Amino acid sequence: GENVEQHPSTLSVQEGDSAVIKCTYSDSASNYFPWYKQELGKRPQLIIDIRSNVGEKKDQRIAVTLNKTAKHFSLHITETQPEDSAVYFCAARGISGAGSYQLTFGKGTKLSVIP
Amino acid sequence: DAGITQSPRYKITETGRQVTLMCHQTWSHSYMFWYRQDLGHGLRLIYYSAAADITDKGEVSDGYVVSRSKTENFPLTLESATRSQTSVYFCASSEQGGLYEQYFGPGTRLTVT
């Protein structure tokens, strides 16, 4: 099955700086890579996603890049703000042992933006 | 987000008891999922369902049972709760299984004593 590694586990940045979170995946057949943001005590919510036929996608201050050859993808947040503080999860859609598609999540990155 | 709800939101039970967590969605999404979230492990898939009466195991299915007799409901049952099943449980749904956003419910915090 798919295996997703996420780094770093914690990240502190000064307000206004950029933050980068990196993930690697193992299944070369994986074709969909979403990123979820989870604020303390809340549910995970999708912030951006990318499909395997695209190398980069941007949405205002958030961007995701994908390198299929190296099997890694990254989340970039520019001009960070205190409300960006949360846990971020990457995920990859791979094929399970039973032959069905499932999302496998990384273990999360706790981002703290210091005012 | 009010379209997917979970009940109860908090539950304390004893080891060996049977517990059922409920999940209900109003979007008529075909796919539904159950995850558990533990510190240091992220979100791990327990079970998922592609449609009514179609379910399949995820990464950590041992000790859990699901059913899906109606599209909108996807209950998760712990047949004999153990302390290792203390966790936060999230239900999710999506229009399709893989390439579309999964919408998460508010979660159920379960403590097994």
Banded pLDDT at B46 (limits 50, 70, 90): very high
B90 close to A (CB below 8 A)? yes
For range B67-82, the mean pLDDT: 96
Banded pLDDT at A97 (limits 50, 70, 90): low
Average pLDDT, chain A: 93
A65 close to B (CB below 8 A)? no
Banded pLDDT at A46 (limits 50, 70, 90): very high
Nearest to A107 among B41, B98, B102 (CB): B41
For residue B58, report the phi and psi dihedrals to the nearest 5 degrees: -105, -155
Q: In angstroms, what separates the C-alpha of A99 from chain B's closest C-alpha?
A: 11
Inform me whether the pLDDT recorded for A98 exceeds 60: no
Measuring CA to CA, which residue among A3, A11, A1 is closest to residue A75?
A: A11
User: Which residue matches tokens 């999506």?
Assistant: B94
How does DSSP assign chain A, residue by residue? ---EEEE-SEEEEETTS-EEEEEEES-TT--EEEEEEE-TTS--EEEEEEETT-SEEEETTEEEEEETTTTEEEEEE-S--GGG-EEEEEEEEEE-TTS-EEEEE---EEEEEE-
Q: Identify residue A110 by its one-letter amino acid code.
A: K
Indicate the burial class of A106 (C-beta count within 10 angstroms; 0-12, 13-18, 19 or more). buried
**Inter-chain CB pairs, A–B, below 8 Å:** 56
